[in-house]
């Protein structure tokens, strides 16, 4: 059992390392998007920053120095299980007719083997799945000694609210661009429906993306430092200072924007509300 638990923890570390690199890769991409060539993106900064935020909170959830090693063990196993389940769902959602039958079967077999391997790893580490009251669905992963239970769900929205509280709702706001919903795209438009598009980057949206990415960096720095026995205070303070430097001109921009709002909207719709 000790060997099984050590194996799960190695996988947890490996997951965390890859999440770290994913966050770093997207931070570098964000820096390139917002480079010094005088250009400013319309939308892409929101999607890239959203990935950084999600990577940061997943990393922080997995590598939390304030939880017990037993709970980290179970969290690592939950992340492994969910990864295998999502991969299997993705393959099964593919149209089998588009592939050579032998290749498709190999893909399914590979998913099944991974799920079985992780199941054996979990069992060998002394963990078991807990079911709902009706017993129809697995809802948590449990360790009996010491007693630990972790839900079979990683709620990114809740983690964002808890771990990146200085960027409230950014994960949801970023989804407006990621999923190309109207409300997430129209802030850059200065033309009305039926008119030729007149698009200008929204400086506040760009600033919010940058601030959220900086806060995500601070979160990762904090977790990495404390998990490895170092004091990350100076590095975190540096990141927060950088965020404050971005925040100051953003506050001025907000004040300026509100100061120039016209007293009456240009037109009203049939409902009488401003359009």
pLDDT for residue 174: 82
Burial of 85 (0-12, 13-18, 19+ CB in 10 A): middle
Residues paired with residue 83 on neighbouring β-strands, in sequence order:
none
Q: Provide mean pLDDT across the span 15-27.
A: 96
Whether 28 contacts 153, CB under 8 Å = no
pLDDT for residue 39: 80
CA distance 75 to 68: 11
pLDDT digits (tens, 9 = 90+) for 75-131: 999 999 999 999 999 988 888 888 888 898 999 999 999 999 999 999 999 999 998
pLDDT for residue 268: 43
pLDDT for residue 21: 97
Q: Where are the domains of the chain?
A: 2-256
């Amino acid at each position: 059992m000790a060997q099984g638990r050590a194996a799960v923890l190695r996988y947890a570390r490996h997951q965390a390392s890859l999440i770290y690199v994913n966050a770093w890769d997207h931070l570098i991409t964000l820096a390139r998007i917002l480079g010094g060539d005088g250009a400013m993106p319309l939308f892409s900064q929101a999607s890239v920053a959203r990935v950084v935020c999600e990577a940061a909170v997943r990393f922080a959830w997995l590598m939390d120095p304030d939880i017990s090693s037993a709970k980290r063990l179970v969290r690592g196993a939950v992340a492994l299980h969910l990864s295998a389940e999502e991969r299997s769902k993705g393959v099964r959602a593919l149209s089998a007719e588009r592939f050579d039958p032998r290749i498709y079967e190999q893909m399914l077999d590979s998913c099944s083997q991974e799920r079985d391997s992780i199941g054996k790893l979990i069992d060998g580490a002394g963990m078991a799945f807990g079911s709902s009251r009706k017993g129809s669905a697995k809802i948590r992963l449990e360790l009996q000694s010491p007693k630990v239970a972790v839900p079979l769900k990683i709620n990114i929205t809740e983690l964002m609210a808890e771990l990146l509280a200085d960027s409230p709702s950014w994960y949801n706001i970023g989804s407006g661009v990621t999923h190309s919903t109207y409300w997430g795209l129209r802030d850059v438009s200065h033309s009305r429906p039926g008119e030729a598009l007149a698009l200008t980057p929204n400086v506040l949206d760009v600033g919010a993306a940058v601030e959220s990415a900086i806060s995500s960096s601070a979160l990762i720095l904090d977790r990495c430092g404390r998990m490895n026995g170092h004091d990350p205070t100076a590095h975190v303070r540096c990141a927060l200072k950088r965020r404050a430097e971005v925040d100051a001109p953003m506050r001025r921009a907000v004040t300026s924007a509100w100061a120039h709002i016209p007293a009456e909207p240009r037109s009203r719709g049939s409902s009488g509300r401003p359009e």
